[in-house]
Amino acid sequence: MKQKVFVSGIIPQIAADMLSRHYEVTMHNDLRLLTKQEIVDGLAGKDALLCLLSDSIDADIIHSNPGLKIIANYGAGFNNIDVPAATARRIPVTNTPKVSTNATADLTWGLILAIARRIVEGDKTTRAGKFTGWAPLYHLGVEVSGKTLGVVGMGNIGKAVVKRAKGFDMRIIYYTRTRLSTEIEQELGLEFMPLTDVIETADFLTFHQSYNPTMKHMIGAKELASMKSTAFLINAARGPLIDEAALLVALRNKTIAGAALDVYEFEPKVTAGLELLDNVVLAPHLGNATVETRNAMAEIAANNIIAVLTGNRPLTCVNPDIYK
């Protein structure tokens, strides 16, 4: 009898094909997110779960299936999964790291340029037929070149963002929990600073910090007030890093010049009022949304499931202690 895999949402065909060659695959073939009960029902009697980053896989779901052998998350992050509950059952939890690096770094630069040069705002104006011709003071933005880029979090994505900043001749300051070596700092042209100094100094402040609950509201009213009034905040990391209520107030009051967001504190909901402001760009979590990256993520997730269901260790396990 074939082993069974439950896929909680539509994924690239490459993964569906890979899994279907070996297993009986049940896939939720809709963009609508499943409810908790629907995931429990779909998971019943299955050997593997391939879930989406937007699914909340809590202890109840994990314990609902005593035969579950792997939880393969379709995403680099995994804070949507109760990893301790899975670990207690010795169930490997996997993610899809690294392949998102270039796509997310590219998107970050898209956000930076969009908010600095008011591209989205200009698009709205043009579509509405309000563009009346070039004029010296019309629709002025600010230059990115020569400014100070503050990067919070210097993992693979942070470093990729920095490399792209070279073309803009920017001063690059950064904060990360574990400071990089002097050699890497020199190679990338980085200046390490305490977080408070990075926040206060940056013209463009971008977040690439991995997330855990202790980092909730890393940026709140106090931090926003300490930023330059001409500064822009960019978040393509995790929504809860930013206190969106405080950000809304700061944007309304022009405490900072603007913000560009790809992730949200209460995703998929956006804090009411942000959508009314012209000094914020709102993207629908597009960080790694490229054909190339999403296919690569699908392939990794499928290979992790195949490895575990054939008695091997997965390629990208986030709780490797289960194998000790």
Question: Which residues are part of the catalytic machinery?
Answer: 238, 267, 285
Amino acid identity of residue 60, one-letter, is D
Q: Is 318 helix (H, G, I), strand (E, B) or coil?
A: coil
Helix 101-116 and helix 291-309: axis angle, to 10°? Answer: 150
Residue listed under structure tokens 């896929």 = 7
Bridge partners of residue 269, in order along the sequence: 266
E strand spans, the chain: 4-7, 24-27, 48-52, 70-74, 93-94, 148-152, 171-175, 190-192, 204-207, 232-235, 258-261, 280-282
Token pair recorded at residue 269? 């909901």
- Other beta carbons less than 10 A from residue 210's beta carbon: 16
As a whole number of angstroms, the distance between CA 182 and CA 186 comes to 6
Whether 172 and 165 have beta carbons less than 8 Å apart is answered as yes
As a whole number of angstroms, the distance between CA 4 and CA 253 comes to 54
Whether 48 and 3 have beta carbons less than 8 Å apart is answered as yes
**88: CB partners within 8 A, 6+ apart:** none
User: What burial class does residue 174 get, using C-beta atoms within 10 Å of its C-beta: 0-12 exposed, 13-18 middle, 19+ buried?
Assistant: buried
Q: How many residues does the chain have?
A: 324
Whether 198 and 173 have beta carbons less than 8 Å apart is answered as yes
- Alpha carbon 196 to its chain centroid, in Å, reads 23
